[in-house]
Amino acid sequence: MAVSAQDAMVRATTLVGSPVSRAGATGRGEEVGRVQDLVARFADDGYPPVTGVLARIGERELFVPVKRMAGMGSEGVVLAAGEEALGEFERRAGEVLLCRDVVGRQLVYIDEHHRGRLVRASDIELAQRSGAWVVAGIDAGPRSRLPWRRRPRHARIVDWSHVEPFLSHVPTSRLGLRLRWLVQLHPGDVADLVEEASPDEAEEIIRAVSEDRDFEADVFEELDEEHQLELVARRSDQEVADLLSKMAPDDAADLLGEMDRDRREPVLALMAPAAGQRLRNLLSYNPQTAGGMMSPGGICVAAGTSVGDALERIRQDRELPETFDSVLVVDDDGRLHAAARLLELLRADPGQPVASIAHPDPPRVRTGADLVEVTLQMADYNLTTLAVVDDDDRVVGVVTIDDVVEQLVPENWRRRAEAADD
C-alpha cells in the first residue's frame, strides 16, 4: 500500500544534525546530543521500518531504538527516558544507515510500464503510518549544493515501492539486489542498467540475475562487448562455459571471439562436445558476414512433413530466436527448396504437407555475404529471418533481424540515447 499524502512526513537529511532531547514536563527538554543518522531494516518486503537513530551524545555514538523515543520529527528526537541505558550502535543483519548507505547513491527505478533506469537518491522521505516511521520514498531530483537548502527546488519524489537500492557496499547488511525484482524488466533493460552502473553496481546486478541462469544468459546477450568482457574476466573458465552454453549460439560465438585466444580453447573444452563444436564452426566465419551473424540450424523439414508436425518441432525447439518466422523445406542432402511462413502454417490444416503451402526457391544468402547483401534481402522480402546456405545450397543457419539491426545502428546513436536518459 502506498504511503498517503495525509501521513506525517519528514526528510532524512532534515533529521541529521537535529537535536536529541530529554522529554520535559511540557514536551521537549534539555538537549543531550545530535542525530547522526537513521537506521532502517531493509530485510523485508514493503516499506522499510525505521528501527532507531544513531546519535552523538557526549563523546559517544549511541543507538536510540524507536521504543526509547517519545517523538521524532523535523525538529529532532525526544527521548522517552534518560540516555544512560542506551548502548553503542552495532549494525544487525538487514539494517541500513539511510544517509550513510543510501543518500547520494544510485538506486534501480522501475516505473509503472516496467521500464528500468538508475536514479540517485538526493534525500529520503520518511512517513509516519499507524504510529511507526517507515521509508516512504526517495527524492530523485537534483541535490542542492547549498547546505541550508534541505529540499531541492525541483524535488521529484519516487515511491519506495518503485525503487531497489544497491547494498553490496554495506557487507554487514548481508543484502543485495533481488532477482524477483529485476525479472520484471526485459533483459535489454537490465543490460542498460549494467552499462550505466558503476563497476561494483554492475557486479551486484549480475550477481542477482545469475540466480536464474537462463535470464542471466539473456542479459549477457544484450550487453555491449566492453561490459561482457569485463564481467567474464572475473569468472572461472567453467562459469564462462556454463554461461555460453545458455546463450544463443551466435551471441555466444561473438563473445567467445572477443576473448583472449589463450582462454578461448580451455573454455570450449569445458562445454558439451556438440555445443563446443557448434561455436568453433561459427568462429570460422568473418563476424561481418552472414556466416558470422547467423544462428546455426533453424527449422528444416522434408517436403512430406505435415503442418502439424512442423508446428510441433517449433514448440519443442527452445533455441529458436523470438523473431523466427519461417520453416525451411530441404531435400535429403539438406539443400534448400522452399519455405513456409509461420503465419501460413498456423492457418493451414495440420494434416497438410508443408510443401503444399511453401513458396519455392525462397531468398537466401551464402555464408560469405556481407551486411549490405543480407540487409537488402531481408528488406526486399520483408523477412525477420533469412536462410544462410553453403556453396552447395545446404542450409547452415539463419540470420535474424535483431542481429542485422545491431550491426546497422551507428555508435553515435547509442551515445545520443545515453545522453537523453541522463
422 three-class SS: coil
Domain that holds residue 147: 1-163
Q: Letter for the amino acid at 212?
A: D
C-alpha distances out from residue 157 to 41, 121, 124, 126, Å: 21, 10, 9, 11
Domain boundary among 128, 147, 163: 163
Give the number of other CB atoms < 10 A from CB of residue 30.
10
Q: Is residue 176 part of a domain?
A: no
According to the model, what pLDDT value does residue 237 have?
Answer: 95
pTM to 2 decimal places: 0.78
d(CA 175, CA 43): 7
300-301: strand order across its sheet = 300-301, 326-330, 336-341, 359-360
Q: Are 194 and 206 in contact (CB under 8 A)?
A: yes
According to the model, what pLDDT value does residue 85 have?
Answer: 75
**Helical packing angle, 249-258 and 261-269, nearest 10°:** 140
Domain boundary among 146, 163, 180: 163
Q: Taking Cα atoms as reference points, which of 197, 188, 143 lies closest to residue 169?
A: 197
Alpha helix positions (H), 23-146: none
Q: Taking Cα atoms as reference points, which of 296, 303, 360, 357 lies closest to residue 331?
A: 303
C-alpha distances out from residue 69 to 20, 80, 169, Å: 10, 5, 29
Q: Give, as one character, the DSSP assignment of residue 228.
A: H
Query: Residues 154, 299: one domain?
Result: no
According to the model, what pLDDT value does residue 147 have?
Answer: 44
d(CA 330, CA 332): 7
Q: Assign residue 346 the CATH number of its domain.
A: 3.10.580.10
Domain boundary among 163, 185, 214: 163
d(CA 127, CA 145): 25
d(CA 83, CA 310): 77
Q: Give, as one character, the DSSP assignment of residue 304.
A: T
Q: What is the mean pLDDT of the chain?
A: 87
According to the model, what pLDDT value does residue 74 have?
Answer: 84
Q: Is residue 232 part of a domain?
A: no
pLDDT per residue as tens digits for the range 40-85? 998 777 899 999 999 998 888 999 999 888 889 888 999 986 556 7
pLDDT per residue as tens digits for the range 125-178? 999 988 889 999 999 876 544 444 444 445 688 999 999 999 888 877 778 888
Q: Is residue 340 part of a domain?
A: yes
Q: Are 91 and 105 in contact (CB under 8 A)?
A: no
Domain count, the chain: 2
Query: Residues 4, 144: one domain?
Result: yes
pLDDT per residue as tens digits for the range 32-52? 899 999 999 987 778 999 999
Q: Is residue 192 part of a domain?
A: no
391's CB contacts (< 8 A; 6+ apart) are 366
d(CA 93, CA 104): 22
d(CA 218, CA 179): 14
d(CA 307, CA 312): 9
Q: Is residue 17 part of a domain?
A: yes
Q: How far apart are the first and last CA of the chain?
A: 30
288 three-class SS: coil
Could you list the pLDDT tens digit for every one of the 422 residues in the chain?
A: 454 545 578 999 999 999 999 876 555 678 889 999 999 998 777 899 999 999 998 888 999 999 888 889 888 999 986 556 788 888 888 889 999 999 999 999 998 888 899 999 999 999 998 888 999 999 987 654 444 444 444 568 899 999 999 988 887 777 888 898 899 999 999 999 999 999 999 999 999 999 999 999 999 999 998 999 999 998 999 999 999 999 988 899 999 999 998 999 999 999 999 999 999 999 999 988 999 999 887 899 999 999 999 999 999 987 787 788 899 999 999 999 999 999 999 999 999 999 999 999 999 999 999 999 999 999 999 999 999 999 999 999 999 998 888 888 776 665 555 555 55
d(CA 309, CA 51): 62
d(CA 230, CA 191): 13
Q: Is residue 302 part of a domain?
A: yes
Question: Phi and psi of 209, rounded to 5°?
Answer: -70, -20
